[in-house]
Amino acid sequence: MSVFCDLFGPTLATKEGDAATEVALKDKVAVGIYFSAHWCPPCRGFTPQLAKNYESALKGKGLEIVFVSSDKSEEEFASYWGEQPWLALPYAARDVKAKLSKKYKVSGIPTLVILNGATGEVITTDGRDCVSEDPSGNDFPWTPPGFWDALGTDFLKAAGSDETVAVSELQGEGKYIALYFSAHWCPPCRGFTPQLVTYYNEHLKGKNCEVIFVSSDRDEASFKEYFGEMPWLAIPHGDKRKGMLSKRFGVEGIPSFVVVDAATGETITTDARGDVGADPTCAEFPWRPKPLNDMLTKMGDINGELSLCVMMEGCDAKTGTAAIEVLTPIAEAAKAAGDSTLFLYASATGGPTPQIRKLCSLGEPSATPTMVLLDIPDEGGFYVADATEVTAESVNGFLAAYRAGTLTRKQLS
């Protein structure tokens, strides 16, 4: 069975009737999964544009599209798909639709995910932008640039100077590159930058880590003023590399601090801002993700991954320590097996804990732990464990029941 049969099931809808998935998608250069709905105004705006470009250029270049509907009824689906010149996932396959939305972390529509037509691997989840920016498909199938291509070859050494530093001077074994996405107009950035400057001078330079400022400033003067406060390098204001790097690392808000291995280009963490505060002596640099984290210091992609949250804000130290000892080997084993589940605990009230309790209707912290599985990618689902003790049996049993589909699903309020 082909990778696309595994994704969509054995059949897809065509204008002539159902067709075998393997046949319908055979020999395509790329396959686009189009998450959309008739009731969504942005979708209604983008769909005619996508259809026009598909018919005039993209289909001929080897793109096939599969519509995955978020319509509220089969009648709405049929009416909306009638405007579209490509394939569709049968509306009745609601379970497949949910799995696809979760797999590709679809948080809003319209979303166009582009897959390699031979392997099914993700080329880009930003197909909507690709079509809008390149309607004739000159760069189809829109393979994103690698890290080194996006980073470029040289960087400004100081504000008001034309002197540059070549990327070759930053590369090498045991070296790291940190990208600082920030802007002069952003209050959180203005608060974090002085802290980062001190941290850089006291620690990061000694760790062979060079920081590169990636600016979101609105004009050259603001950029130069802000860069003048920084002791590191910068990408010039207005350079296209800013957009490529922001897209590559999924930067949706600033300040954002990313650490990359300067020998391999491997992303080590996209959440290093929290590490600066949580690791004041830089003892744990380069901050490779841990299997288990205190959510007050590091959350990870809780919006994109299944997350086991053990809420212990009201527990005594003995209970908290015992729970961490239980959770650590379970989290380590999951990570070693390639499981992307996040394992988090709350040792005290703060950060996201009040919001999690509110959204999940957990009530006030108590002397006993509460285990919650947040499945935000599943349209905001969550599950609360009956167990009031954190043991290997209770944790593994909770996770096993989730995988078996025997837990009662609740909806984030």
Collect all residues with Cβ–Cβ distance below 8 Å to 310 and sequence separation of at least 6.
Answer: 323, 327, 344, 345, 346, 369, 370, 371, 372, 390
pLDDT tens figures, 172-227: 999 999 999 999 999 999 999 999 999 999 999 999 999 999 999 999 999 999 99
Strands (E), 250-396: 256-261, 267-269, 292-294, 307-311, 342-346, 370-375, 381-384
Task: Residue 383: name the closest of 367, 368, 355, 403 by CA.
Answer: 403
According to the model, what pLDDT value does residue 171 have?
Answer: 97
What pairing do the DSSP bridges indicate for beta strands 176-182 and 209-215?
parallel
Write down the pTM of the prediction.
0.81
**Using alpha carbons only, what angle is made at residue 126 by residues 125 and 132, rounded to the nearest 5 degrees?**
150
Number of Cβ within a 10 Å radius of residue 299 = 18
Calculate mean pLDDT across residues 287-314: 91
User: Which pLDDT belongs to residue 16?
Assistant: 93
The span from the CA of 157 to the CA of 21, in Å, is: 54
From first CA to last CA, the distance across the chain in angstroms is: 40
Query: Residue 304: its pLDDT value, please?
Result: 85
Q: Please give the backbone phi and psi of residue 42, each rounded to the nearest 5 degrees, phi first.
A: -60, -35
pLDDT at 107: 82
pLDDT band at 2 (very low <50, low <70, confident <90, very high): confident
Measured CA to CA, the distance from residue 374 to residue 371 in angstroms comes to 10
**Alpha-carbon span 398 to 393, nearest angstrom:** 8
At residue 379, the pLDDT reads 82
- Which is more confidently placed, 14 or 160? 14
For the cut 90, the answer to whether the pLDDT of residue 377 exceeds it is no
- For residue 221 the two structure tokens come to 């003067």
pLDDT range class, residue 159, cuts 50, 70, 90? confident
Distance (Å, rounded) from C-alpha 49 to C-alpha 131? 9
pLDDT of residue 203: 97
For the cut 90, the answer to whether the pLDDT of residue 137 exceeds it is: yes
Cα–Cα distance measured from residue 76 to residue 38, given in angstroms and rounded to the nearest whole number: 7
Between 76 and 379, residue with greater pLDDT: 76
pLDDT of 161 > 90? The answer is no
pLDDT computed for residue 341 by the predictor: 95
Q: What is the SS3 assignment for 363?
A: coil
Length, in residues, of the chain? 413
pLDDT at 1 over 70: no
CA dihedral of residues 307, 290, 121, 306 (deg, nearest 10): 0
Q: Among 24-38, 175-189, 299-313, which is the least confidently predicted range?
A: 299-313
Domains along the sequence of the chain with CATH: 3-133 (3.40.30.10), 147-278 (3.40.30.10), 292-411 (3.40.30.10)
Mean pLDDT of the 354-376 span: 95
Across the chain, what does the average pLDDT equal? Answer: 95
Residue 186's identity, in one-letter code, is C
State both tokens at 44. 């209604």
Whether the CB-CB separation of 34 and 86 falls below 8 Å is answered with yes
| Rg value, the chain, Cα | 24
- E strands, 15-158, are 17-20, 30-36, 63-69, 87-88, 111-116, 122-124, 154-156
Q: 1-15, 47-61, 388-402: which range is least confident on average?
A: 1-15
* pLDDT of 303 over the 90 cut: no
CA–CA–CA angle 395, 396, 402 (5° rounding): 95
